[in-house]
Amino acid sequence: MIHCYPHDFAVQVHRFLTEVIPPETLYPLPDVGSLELLISTCYQASLMREEERPVRFRLILRDPEQFPSGQGPPDGLNRLVFTLPQAFTGDELRRISPATNFDTSLIGVTIDALGTPSIWGIVHSGSRWLQVFRGGSQRINPLPDSLIIFVTGPGRISVSVGATLIAGLRGGQVVRTDQELFTAGWLQHLTSAHRDELWVMHEEARQQATTKWADISPDFPLILGQNLLRRVISLVRNHRHGGALIIVPTTRTQELKEPNPYLNIKYNFRLDEGRQRIHPQIVRLMNEFARIAGSWELGGEPVGWSEYVASTDPTLSQLDETLYEMTHLLAELSLIDGAVVLNHRFEVLGFGAEIYSGLDNVPVIQKALDLEGSVRESESPKGMGTRHRSAYRLCMALKDAVVIVVSQDGHVRFVRWHNGAVTCWDQVATGILDF
């Protein structure tokens, strides 16, 4: 494996920026040399410690005059400008990082006519921006269309333009957002398994409406389902306890809640409204979105994810927050030893599930090298943890299950039976912060 370092990362990021971001929306677009200097200095700072604390920060490349005055969180950005700019060095970034809390502030940087960067001050953003990067959507304090560099750990650098994810450097490897597993066809199928059912329920409500409803983009429920799963995984990672999610077809729900040869669910939930809450809540959100957008001037065009994120309607925000709180519950169930078991309707069958040790061991697994698992290499499970080996055994026995294993260090592995073998996908990102 050939490792990438700041120079290689800067070259690739600059190319990604020119491919993805229209030049008129990015202020400013640094040249390759300036971008390398920014990234290299941030990389060096990431390897330091400040009074035994890891160095973590966000940096925004934007002149202070570009921030409107008189604004601040939760709905705006508040700039604080130093009387004298500070040198842009790894040591200065290390020193200032404790005062610029990663979740709520950014370090303001500008580049002069000679290509020399300097630190001009602090931008207080508040924490709403995190919803975008952790799978949320509503009530977001938007970040401007400027280059933002995230230092999330030693040697871990990520780049975005506003809320548009570009790439990350992790473990010496460059990861692009278009390589994110959530775009894989087989995973999209999993999160859209009951999409037709959602549309039937939505159309029934539409027919009974007394006001005009907008048409919703066909991929809206798919994106919403992906974000629900993204949220759960991100929250499990943040607990730093590790855990496993087992996702099974809805048709297997009753089979797995009864004695079966695959797993034993210690804490079993009975069938009632509480267990089935997420699916109807998605339909309620779709209905409300269509009703609210019905009063917009759309020219007959359907509304989709971008319009949903941009909406500030309080009812829609409340419905979104309700879904967000449900994902918190799912993630917290993973704090108990054993797996959380869900079906494709996001119903929680139970938690504390034990995969039976009597299932056949898997001597060799296949590690996917692309999103669809078309290119793979063999890997021995020897030396891997109990969670991983149990997941392999289950997926070989229960071939329509998907197991998501989250390690204590935040590493995520998706496991499923694919093309005649137990196959896994590594380094699954729930957002740029996980790169």
What φ, ψ does residue 198 adopt, rounded to 5°?
Answer: -60, -45
Mind listing the pLDDT tens digit for each residue in 193-215? 788 889 999 999 999 999 999 99
113-122, 132-141, 411-420, range with the lowest pLDDT: 132-141
pLDDT computed for residue 134 by the predictor: 52
Q: Which among 4, 104, 110 has a CA at the least distance from the CA of 57?
A: 104
CA atoms of 116 and 155, how far apart (whole Å): 23
Both 203 and 250 in one domain: the answer is: yes
Q: Does the residue 390 lie in any domain?
A: yes
Does residue 72 surpass a pLDDT of 60? yes
pLDDT digits (tens, 9 = 90+) for 138-192: 455 567 889 999 998 899 899 988 877 788 887 787 777 666 788 888 888 877 7
Domain shared by 79 and 186, yes or no: no
The answer to whether 119 and 82 have CB atoms below 8 angstroms apart is yes
Q: Could you please report the per-residue DSSP string of 153-188?
A: ETTEEEEEETTEEEEEEETTEEEEGGG-GGG-HHHH
Residues 335 and 239 in one domain: yes
Answer yes or no: pTM beyond 0.85. no
Please give the single-letter amino acid code of residue 324: Y
* Statement to judge: residues 187 and 163 lie in one domain: no
Residues 244 and 99 in one domain: no
Question: Strands 365-368 and 78-87: what pairing?
Answer: unpaired
Shared-domain flag, residues 217 and 329: yes
217 and 81 part of one domain: no
